[in-house]
A and B are shown apart, each in its own frame.
Chain A
């Protein structure tokens, strides 16, 4: 009579989701009902058979064949792997970053640490407590100076552009900037070809 109802409980039991009361009911019923006992046993065997289906492995050159079909790296990807291959840049906390077009930004982790790109790292004064990069009076920086997540204070000379991304450029009365000095509020305003130009003379000169 109650075998139909028991079938529901049997499946709850197999899902491991039967409550105590239902479980007692099921066990009591099965003690006297051979057909429900058999039903459960057959289900358990079917599951065991499926689980025992041996786990086959993909052919050994699978990964290589996937890679052969990947699109060739675009400029932005080559650029990021170039960065990875020059860890000394990272070590010196010199970073090249940013770029946009919505796609570009994806390749870089956004974080709030101060990042600087310049070919004259050694001449810069970095005030980490105030997040300010200072070009001291009397010094000359060759090429562009790019700072992200911080301000730039120019007292000396920069023979290039000064750019602060998510920061401000402050020019002292003694400042001399050959190119333009600009603040960029959000990273997406940055344009790829500008970064490319920085990339060309990125290699910093260490003392």
Chain B
């Protein structure tokens, strides 16, 4: 981990709120981006991002500095996203793929009510298509595809975040890519 970040986490661990604020500045957009792509709407994504930082703060004393801080915070955020999906859909199974043709699930239904006026129409259409394609992946695939292609993390770091072997990550990425291909091939 880079030196600045290590110093910041050490200071935050000792109760230094300024250092904690700097960590928020470094990570807020990354965590928000992950949450947004997981749940598909700003409000829930902001809630999850806030909860992530509150948990980081509350558990800083348990943070083991021999691991990267990013690994730890991404793990907290990923778990919160997946937990939220479970809560909103009590019968939702992690392995369940949304049936083809069933259309939008709760994520995309929520997001379709929100329009970002700053986006151009073309960008917005692409955004919605990508978001829709992501929302059709089961969360355990969706989270990994987001970490890989939106957060731009290595296979090894993703493996550290979700605590699964690299071979499992690869398998999920392969399946995730195939699923996205079938959704996006006619774009």
Chain A contact residues, CB within 8 Å of chain B: 11, 14-15, 39, 42-43, 45-47, 49-59, 62-63, 65-67, 69-70, 73, 76-77, 80-81, 84, 103, 106-109
Q: Which residues of A contact B15 (CB under 8 A)?
A: 73, 76-77, 80-81, 107
Knowing A11-B177, A62-B50 are in contact, say whether A47-B25 is a contact too (CB < 8 A): no
Q: Which residues of B contact A46 (CB under 8 A)?
A: 133, 177, 180-181, 183-185
B24–A70 CB distance below 8 A: no
Chain B contact residues, CB within 8 Å of chain A: 10, 13-17, 21, 24-25, 28-29, 32-33, 36-37, 42, 46, 49-50, 53-54, 57, 61, 116, 119, 123, 126-127, 129-131, 133-134, 145, 149-150, 155, 170, 173-174, 177-178, 180-181, 183-185, 187
A45–B185 CB distance below 8 A: yes
Q: How far is the CB of A1 from chain B (nearest CB, A)?
A: 20
A57–B32 CB distance below 8 A: yes
13 contacts between A and B (CB under 8 A): A11-B170, A15-B173, A39-B181, A43-B178, A45-B181, A49-B133, A49-B184, A51-B150, A73-B15, A77-B15, A81-B15, A103-B61, A108-B14
Q: Which residues of B contact A103 (CB under 8 A)?
A: 61
Majority secondary structure of chain A interface residues (helix, strand, loop or mixed): helix
Measured in the bound complex, the distance between the Cα atoms of B181 and A14 in whole Å is 13
Measured in the bound complex, the distance between the Cα atoms of B28 and A58 in whole Å is 7
Measured in the bound complex, the distance between the Cα atoms of B60 and A70 in whole Å is 13
Q: How far is the CB of B2 from chain A (nearest CB, A)?
A: 20
Chain A to chain B: the 6 pairs with minimum beta-carbon distance, closest first? A58-B32, A77-B15, A46-B180, A11-B174, A46-B181, A46-B184
